[in-house]
Amino acid sequence: MYNQNTSKRYIIGIDQSTQGTKALLFDENGQLLCREDLAHRQIVNEAGWVSHDPEEIYQNTLRVVRQLITNTQEGELRIDSAQIAGIGISNQRETALIWDMQTGKPLADAVVWQCSRSQKICDKIEASRNVEFIQQKTGLKLSPYFPASKLAWLMANVEGAGQIAKEGRLGMGTVDTWLVYKLTGGASYKTDYSNASRTQLFDIFNLRWDKELCEAFGLSPEYLPEVCDSDSHFGMTDFEGLLPEPVPIHGVLGDSHAALFGQGCIHPGMAKATYGTGSSIMMNTGTSPVQSKSGVVTSLAWKLGNEASYVLEGNINYTGAAITWLKDEVRLINSPKETEELSRMAVQDDSLYFIPAFTGLGAPYWNSQAKGLLCGITRTTGRKEIVRAAVESIAYQIADIVETFAKDTEGKVKELRVDGGPSGNAYLMQFQSDLLDTDVSVPQTEEMSGMGAAYVAGIALGLYDKQIVETTERKVYKPAMASGLREKKKKGWKDAISMIL
């Protein structure tokens, strides 16, 4: 372990997400003191391919840290940057990139997790062999969503990539590996277990890059980074001279995994839901993996203190995006903040259901051909009722996943910890609690991913006790709906879903 100087009291959490990069400063009590963020370009071409510029992401990381340091030195806080103890990084998952490790330059733009340009590679693999072994080893169904086919696409389509690989200077992986490599000046070529588990190249049961998986995608394990515990020492950085001396990067996790840790879901049976554009719902299943039979996937949560923990995870394509649709496409609202009041004003016994299957349904249904649906319209249906149906569709979709967890583990989720913008909607949170017939807990802090990575780093450095994850203040919503009404509403949702499957 890095020898912690007792005068060092602060941790920087870097949250590199799909939309931008944040730098967060936490004190010795784990309290968030300051935040800086910067958006990066969403590069979308005429074919709908989604890309990010890796160099822009790296430079933005330096810029937000520079601004964070400037603000804390010149503002009321007056913090000496020499007191920074270490760094934690959370990152957007499944986005893949390749680079030349000799020059440190990317060979192409990163292929973002949303991009399905590698679908033909998956189709070719599926047509040529039985692909059950992929899910058996990775917990994930073959899909262009995951980095394996994205990396294969980059290798096949980026000029010179093959030759650079033969010369042993090819870097490839997810955004965490790129940032660690750049921040350490090329000294560290590493990833953590949570990110590795989402590549579709990693055997999550034997905890290693898998030769058979790599060969299926035309890749070699030799190309891939070293896989390290999520709280291990990933290298030293001074952010290219922004700090007076290098400090350790001591925590790296995928953003959803970091949020799970930040939410304090460190024991089996604990679950969290992140309400964003889409949603990631995770349940900690402990040191023994659970293979889902109900439509969600198995992944690693993390590997901390040399012990691996697993999760069940369900991903939903459109939750918060349904509210964006109300605002931008059908213009029923001017701001998401209006949805809570309109939902309360709507006719409460309305039979309206909205299914936001704009590009198919994700877990647990996995129907890419499904189309959106608004059903149960009556003479009393109006603007308020449509808004409420869109808000409630978020809760119904989350409930589908949580109920799937209960089936797979044969145990009810006793509490759902939530985060993300829509979690500020009190109507939605109460309805979520009512549907699940369980407590829904909303933290007062929004930055769960960056906080989780910072906490992992702080614990590894001896600055925090592991119980710090339990110190977050929360608002708890308790179920208040009659059981008969709950079952009636859930049946109506299931009937609506059946119309598009």
State the sign of the Cα–Cα–Cα–Cα dihedral 138, 141, 142, 148: negative
Q: Which pLDDT does position 115 carry in this prediction?
A: 87
Q: Are residues 268 and 235 in the same domain?
A: no
How would residue 319 be classed by pLDDT, with cut points 50, 70 and 90? confident
Summarize the confidence of residues 149-162 as an average pLDDT. Answer: 96
pLDDT digits (tens, 9 = 90+) for 26-64: 999 999 998 999 999 988 898 888 899 999 999 999 999
Question: 């650079």: which residue's tokens?
Answer: 164
Residue 1 lies in a domain: no
Distance of CA 214 to the CA centre of its chain: 24
How far apart (Å, rounded) are the C-alpha atoms in residues 190 and 168? Answer: 16
One domain for residues 272 and 225: no
Q: Are 137 and 164 in contact (CB under 8 A)?
A: no
273 and 249 housed in the same domain = no
What's the rounded mean pLDDT across residues 476-490?
Answer: 95
Please compute the mean of the pLDDT values over residues 362-378 and round it to a whole number.
87
* Percent above pLDDT 90 for the chain: 72
- Same domain membership, residue 135 and residue 57: yes
Mean pLDDT of 142-150: 92
- Model confidence, pTM: 0.89
Please list the alpha-helical segments (H only) found in 410-461.
426-436, 448-460
The enclosing H or E element of 394 equals helix 383-409
Clarify whether residues 412 and 492 are in a common domain.
yes
**How far are the Cα atoms of 35, 58, 133, 225, 231 from residue 308, in angstroms, in the given order?**
31, 29, 22, 19, 11
Q: How many CA atoms lie within 13 A of 117 on its CB side?
A: 23
| 110 bridge partner residues | 52
Residue 79 has pLDDT above 90, yes or no: no
Number of domains in the chain: 2
User: 379 Cβ partners below 8 Å, 6+ apart?
Assistant: none
pLDDT, average across residues 176-203: 97
Cβ count within 10 A of residue 385:
23
Q: Does 184 lie in the same domain as 326?
A: no
Contact indicator for 26, 451 with CB cutoff of 8 Å: yes
Confidence at residue 422, expressed as pLDDT on a 0 to 100 scale: 86
Which of 201, 229, 254 is the last residue before a domain boundary? 254
Q: List phi, psi (to 5°) of 408.
A: -70, -30
Q: Which residue has the tokens 């001591």?
A: 250
Asked if residue 3 belongs to a domain, the reply is: no
Confidence band of 80 (pLDDT split at 50, 70, 90) = confident
pLDDT of 10 reads 94
User: Binning pLDDT at 50, 70 and 90, where does residue 446 land?
Assistant: confident
Q: Does residue 5 sit within a domain?
A: no
Residue 491 in tokens? 């049946």
In a domain, 240, yes or no: yes
Q: Is residue 414 part of a domain?
A: yes
pLDDT at 3: 44
Beta bridge partners of 271: 283, 416
Nearest-angstrom CA–CA distance, 371 and 359: 7
For residues 140 and 68, give the distance between their C-alpha atoms in angstroms, rounded to a whole number: 38
Query: Does residue 359 share a domain with residue 213?
Result: no
Instruction: State how far the Cα of 405 lies from the Cα of 280, in Å rounded to an integer.
Output: 13
Judge contact between 87 and 62, C-beta under 8 A: no
pLDDT of amino acid 6: 55
Helix (H) or strand (E) holding 125: helix 119-128
Whether 8 has a pLDDT exceeding 80, the answer reads: no
Same-domain check for residues 217 and 152:
yes
- Per this entry, what is the length of the chain? 501
Angle between helices 338-345 and 383-409 (to 10 degrees): 100
Residue with tokens 């919503």: 477
**What does the block give as tokens for 285?**
């299943």
Is the residue at 442 inside a domain?
A: yes
- The whole-number pLDDT of residue 36 equals 94
Q: How far apart are CA 458 and CA 468, in angstroms?
A: 10
CA torsion sign for 361, 417, 353, 331 is negative
As a whole number of angstroms, the distance between CA 155 and CA 160 comes to 9
pLDDT at 18: 85
Q: Is residue 2 part of a domain?
A: no
The answer, yes or no, to whether residue 424 has pLDDT greater than 80, is yes
Residues 417 and 310 reside in one and the same domain: yes
Query: Cis bond leading into 422, ω under 30°?
Result: no
- Residue 252 in this model has a pLDDT that exceeds 70: yes
pLDDT above 50 for 2: no
Region 213-228 average pLDDT: 95
Read off the pLDDT of residues 65-74 as tens digits, 9 standing for 90 and up.
Answer: 999 998 887 7
192 in the same domain as 272 = no
Calculate the alpha carbon distances from 4 to 7, 87, 178, 253, 336 in Å: 9, 13, 26, 22, 45
Which phi and psi angles does 353 have, rounded to 5°? -130, 140
Backbone angles phi, psi at 328, to 5 degrees: -90, -35
Report the mean per-residue pLDDT for the chain: 92
Peptide bond just before 364 cis, omega within 30 deg: yes
Q: What is the distance between the alpha carbons of residues 460 and 462, in angstroms, rounded to a whole number?
A: 6
**In-domain check, residue 267:** yes
- Mean pLDDT for 361-386 is 89
What integer pLDDT is reported at residue 75 of this predicted model? 65
Q: Which domain holds residue 458?
A: 263-501
Nearest to 247 by CA among 33, 25, 420: 25
Write the pLDDT tens digit of every residue in 280-318. Answer: 899 999 998 998 888 888 999 999 989 999 999 998 878
Return the axis-axis angle of helices 383-409 and 320-328, rounded to nearest 10°.
160
Q: What is the CATH number of the domain that holds 43?
A: 3.30.420.40
Asked if residue 189 lies in contact with residue 236, where contact means CB atoms within 8 angstroms, the answer is: no
- Of the residues 210, 236, 254, the one at which a domain ends: 254
> Is 229 in the same domain as 323?
no
Verify that 234 and 369 share a domain, yes or no: no
The pLDDT value given to residue 309: 96
Q: Which helix (H) or strand (E) holds 170?
A: strand 170-174
Of 228, 254, 280, the residue at which a domain comes to its end is: 254
pLDDT for 1 equals: 41
